[in-house]
Structure 1
Amino acid sequence: MLSQFFLQNLHFAVNILAAMVFSWCFWLYFDVWLARKRMDEALKFLGFLFLTVSFVIHAVHLESTITEQIINELAYERILITTRLGGYLLIAISLFLEPSLSHPHKNKEQRIKDKVQSRNGELQGVSGALMISMFGAQIPGYVAASMFFPLAGVSVALLYLYKSTYGLEFHLRRVAYAFFILSLFELISLRELFIGNSNVSVFKLAAPFASLWTLEHLTLFIGVLILGKWVFSYLLKRLQTQLYIFFSLAILFIFVISTLSFTWLLLGNVQKEAENQLETSVKVLEYALDTRKSELLSDAQVFAQDAKVTDAISADQKPQLANLASEYLLTKKLSFLTVVNENGQVVARGEEPERIGDSLSSNTLIKRSLLSESNFSVMSRDGVLAPDVFVSASAPVKKDNEVIGAVWVGVVTDNAFVDGIYKATGLNASIYGEDKISATSLVGEDGSSRRVGVIESNSEIKEQVLGKGEGFTGTTNFLNTPYFVSYLPLKDLDNTPVGMLSVGKPQVTILATAGRSIQGSFIVAGILWLLAILPSYLISSYISKQLK
């Protein structure tokens, strides 16, 4: 979860940085327009303003699909298409309208010929971008329109490159390189179109926070870094622009740090609340088992005090005992019911009437019952896929205040038991026999198979719970999925851990819970940063005038 938190905030920071660099370009061309009042300069600063808004909108959009977005997805897509394509197109049109400087050493006829060729080249570039955008507008949906983002970006890059290679505008070459890299960023960002792909390999490659996502943001950072270095060198030539840069950087730094701090505290609180809830839920699971133990002890005592049972044991009437045990086992829905005599020899079994005669004198519960004690415990038996965990109880059978035998009953904690916990708490619960899952509410991808037999691989959990007999609450990976979990030991009559109780919650649900608040903080920071552009301009203008 911490990695997702970091990468989500990295997405916000990189896109806000891109928006700031485009706002600097807007400032530069707006300053030029104030001096010349030309149409091409107006279109250019408007284009960079559109791109500024576009990247602010992109910054506040959460990269994860696990939570509902505050901004309606359709509204987000329309705003992004309008501002991104509109920004690229306005810049391209302004470059077409702007006269190109010709080389002074060329003769007049050659300059006229080159000027005509340059106009034709620029016209082709702009008309190509316009046709692309118009064609995109004819196709409904964000999917189709977003495919033209890289083409619009590369059109602007080609026009800047043409300006820099024709005549004396060599300084624009760096801008051209920046837009080429930005168009590559737009191309890589088309990975979003494949997030819903059914192919697992394609999904893993295109998913948020995966390798393509990292490459996409790295490309954006490099592109805006090149563009920022270019515009930075021009803005530092005047005091007013120096002040503007200082104010905008300071405001951006404050907003980013504030947003990171808020989201960090928010996730920390949500995580702590989730862990507290898990600790409570695993205690509910433990209480349910304790309740079942008490019920079993009561069942054992009731059967042991039945006069028919005591008479049958005294008279060694094994067939009658077998019938009584079988009927009681079915009535109480027990997994097993065993009756032993005073020597610990089995005289009746409710689940297997024909299997008698063996000795259970070494069984701890039966030992204590033959000493006139009633007890309950948890035990683990080897099963097919994993150990079977039983809750059992035993009670002495007395006649004339003398112990003549004992009754031992038990039930297996199966999937139905943990399903009841899941319905009550909404949390996935598991019961372990030693370090293997014996029963769980976790199902496989087919929606029916259970994750029985999965071994707990976290050595810290095994050492804490099975080794020391203490609880554990924290994080672990279950089948490559990060979970918040809480464990408690299952102990037998001798207080020795024989298994574990566990409840868990996927870590992504924590981010989903906090997602709307995180996006809200991003939106507030983005809006405040945009609104801070005008005060930054007015303050820097006022200070520069006072110093003149």
Structure 2
Amino acid sequence: MFRQLFFDSFHFATLVFLALALLTSGWLHIDSWALDKKGKTHLFRGIGFFMLAIAYVIHATNFEIPIILFLVQIVKVIGSVLILLSLFKEPLLHPPSEKVSLFIPFTLAINFLVPSSVILYFLIALVYFWKSTGGHEKQKKSVAFAFFFLFLAELVKIPFYAADTNIVVLSSLLEQYGILWISYHILFLIGTIILSAWVIGYVRFRVNIQIFVITVTSIIGIFLITTLSFTYILLKNLENNALSHLKTDIKVMQYTTERFQLEALANAKAIANNTDVKNSLINFDKNKLKEATLKLAISQDVSFLLITDTNSKVLMRAEDSENTGDFLTEDPLLISALEGSSLTDITVKQGVVSPDILIRAAAPIMASQFTESAEIIGGVITGFKIDNAFVDGIKKLTGLDVVVFGGETRAATTFVSPDGKSRHIGTKEQNSEIINKVLKEGEIFVGPAKILNQSFYTAYSPLRKKDGDEVIGMLFVGKPQSELLETAAASTRLTFLGSAILMIFSIVPAYFISRRIHENLEA
């Protein structure tokens, strides 16, 4: 999240300082025109620089609304055209001993459509370079290089118009804050530094402009510090709130599994006390037992139900009535039930693709529940399988993504593959910090993490076999950082917009203050 804040602030600061350099350049040209008022070359060029400054201040706010982008592009084009026309209208100053060259050393070899501002920046850079090398105006070479880097920046930006492409390689290059995004802003920064250096070289001879630039730069600095501080505090609070809520949500998920355990235990006791089940066991009536278990499995809405005798032999499975006769002599849950205890556990069994997480409950079947020394005639094991329907139900209630792990492996998840047809079950958690803290140390992990190459705010909780027993898996809830970032980005954009508006309005009083100070100095 704070990476985004840094890059957004870098974007805002770079474009604002570029706008200041353009604004000062425009003032220098208008100031030159005001001194002699011969022709309107410097006037048009100053207006052009002013228009570019306005365009970049608006662009700095990051408001990607089509009408605003369209207006910014129009302002850029008009400003660039005014600068270009004023350059052509201005006569070339030649060195005393050189002959006039009538050849303009540039040709346009553009065979594809590009934004008009790119072409105009390229032309402005070439004309400035031509005037600085073919004439007696060496000082304009810096402006040529500045516009050349601005041209390169705008050129790098062109692929962003294809941001919705299905080409994987291009999509990775065009991701926000990716290689092209960083390259675009670095080129802009270089152009800004070069243009600012050129402006400073002239401003030092103009006291009033110098005072203005110092005043406006101070105002921008104050606004930037205030904006960054406010945004940082906002983002930190949003992140802390998100993580705090996730910690609560993961505990709620723990309670949900505990509730299912209690429900499974209640079902096991109810089945163990069912008269039809008892009579079937006493009379060794397999058909009656099959009929009773099927009816109970449906009415109790359990995932599995099996009945055993006192020797741990499976007499009936409701979900597979033909699969009987095996012995569960090593099942600790059944052993406890046949000893007279009713209890629950959570078990992980290896499935075909992913582990099966089973919430189980077992209870003894007594010949008579009204006798203290009632004979145990069998045992019942029933419960629920934690599957995708389970996690989908939690997501529907909370809006969070949910995963249940068997060990390090995803057994049930709300994460769906891009085709929308399969789930990311059977995949392993790769974060060693999470594995150590949750699976090995048995503690809750709360914090940002990468999930399937996406940034999430996450909470992991250990899934235990029984209360205080060994950790057999993990529970996960999380929300994409992008959801929080969208909220933060909207707030940041509004903050930047407010700062930009205040900075624009501050220019007017800054101008009059600098003018007043200059008049007092000359008096």
**Superposition TM-score tier, normalisation by shorter sequence:** over 0.9
Distance 1:78 1:348, change over 3 A: closer
Q: 1:470 aligns with which of 432, 443, 448?
A: 443
Partner of 1:22: 22
Question: Could you tell me which residue of structure 2 aligns to residue 86 of structure 1?
Answer: 78
1:332 corresponds to: 300
- What is the Cα deviation at residue 213 of structure 1? 1.3
The residue number in structure 1 matching 2:91 is 99
- Cα distance in structure 2, aligned partners of 1:356 and 1:90: 90
Amino acid at match of 2:10: L
Structure 2 residue 49 is the aligned partner of structure 1 residue 76: no
Structure 1 residue aligned with 2:346: 378
Give the structure 1 partner of residue 192 of structure 2.
Answer: 224
Quick one: structure 1 residues 74 and 358, their matched pair in 2 at CA, closer, same or farther if it must change by over 3 Å? closer
Code of the residue aligned with 2:485 in structure 1: it is: L
User: Which position in structure 2 is the counterpart of 1:431?
Assistant: 404
Mark the runs of 5 or more structure 2 residues left unpaired by the alignment. Answer: none
Equivalences for residues 146-545 of structure 1 within 5 A: 147-399=115-367, 400-401=371-372, 402=374, 403-493=376-466, 495-545=469-519
Shift of 1:425: 1.5
The answer for the alignment partner of 1:138 in structure 2 is: none
Shift of 1:239: 2.7
CA deviation vs aligned residue, 1:372-425 (integer Å, no higher than 9, x gap): 222122111010111100111111212233233221102211111111112112
CA distance in 1, matches of 2:235, 2:510: 32
More displaced, 273-282 or 250-259? 273-282
CA apart distance, 1:83: 1.6
Work out whether residues 14 and 192 of structure 2, in 8 Å CA contact, stay in contact via their aligned partners in 1: no
Partner residue in 1 for 2:48:
47
TM-score, normalised with respect to structure 2: 0.92
Q: CA deviation at 1:279?
A: 2.4
Matched residue SS, 1:517: helix
Q: 2:33 aligns to what?
A: 33
In the TM superposition, what whole-angstrom CA distance separates every residue of 1:438-459 from its partner, at most 9, and x where no partner exists? Answer: 1111110011211111101111
Deviates more, 1:285-294 or 1:180-189: 285-294
Preserved CA contact (<8 Å) 2:16 2:60? yes
Matched residues in 1 for 2:330 and 2:410: separation? 27
* Partner SS state of residue 6, structure 1: helix
Q: Deviations over 1:455-474 (max 9, x none)?
A: 01111111221112221111
SS of aligned partner of 2:449:
strand
Distance 1:105 1:465 in 2: 82
CA distance in 1, matches of 2:20, 2:176: 24
Structure 1 portions without partners, runs of 5+: 63-68, 133-142
Distance in 2, Cα, partners of 1:476 & 1:309: 50
Residue of structure 2 equivalent to 1:139:
none
- C-alpha contact 1:365 1:493 (8 A) present in aligned 2: no
Identical counterparts, % of pairs: 33
User: How far does residue 179 in structure 1 lie from its aligned partner after superposition?
Assistant: 1.4
Q: How far has the Cα of 1:319 moved from its partner? A: 4.2
Structure 1 residue 287: deviation in Å?
Answer: 2.8
Distance 1:231 1:306 in 2: 92
Query: Which is worse superposed, 307-316 or 393-402?
Result: 307-316
Quote the Cα distance in structure 2 between the aligned partners of 1:236 and 1:368.
91
8 A Cα contact 1:19 1:52, kept in partner: yes
The DSSP-based 3-state class of the residue aligned with 1:442 is coil
Amino acid at match of 1:87: G
**TM-score normalised per structure 1:** 0.88
Q: Are residues 355 and 196 of structure 1, via their aligned partners in 2, closer, same or farther at CA, if it must alter by over 3 Å?
A: closer
Using the alignment, how far apart are the partners of 1:237 and 1:44 within structure 2? 20
Q: Secondary structure at the match of 1:331?
A: helix
* Preserved CA contact (<8 Å) 1:149 1:187: no
Q: After TM superposition, list the pairs within 5 Å mapping 1:50-69 onto structure 2.
A: 50-61=51-62
CA-atom RMSD, angstroms? 2.3
Q: Distance in 2 between the 1:319 and 1:30 partners?
A: 102
- After TM superposition, the runs of 4+ consecutive aligned structure 1 residues lying more than 6 A away are none
Q: In 2, Cα distance between the equivalents of 1:409 and 1:388?
A: 15
The offset of 1:492, in angstroms, is 1.4
Q: Alignment partner of 1:532: what SS?
A: helix
Q: Secondary structure at the match of 2:93?
A: coil
Match of 1:137 in 2: none
* CA distance in structure 1 between the aligned counterparts of 2:224 and 2:214, rounded to whole angstroms: 15
Q: Supply the AA of the counterpart residue of 1:13.
A: A
Number of residue-to-residue matches in the alignment: 513
Distance in 1 of aligned mates of 2:92 and 2:322? 104
Instruction: Give, in whole Å, the separation in 2 of the partners of 1:169 and 1:501.
Output: 71
Counterpart amino acid of residue 476 in structure 1: A
How far apart, CA to CA, are the structure 1 residues paired with 2:474 and 2:135? 78
Would the aligned equivalents of 1:345 and 1:357 in 2 still touch at CA under 8 Å?
yes
Tell me the CA shift for residue 427 of structure 1.
1.4
Cα shift at 1:294 = 2.0
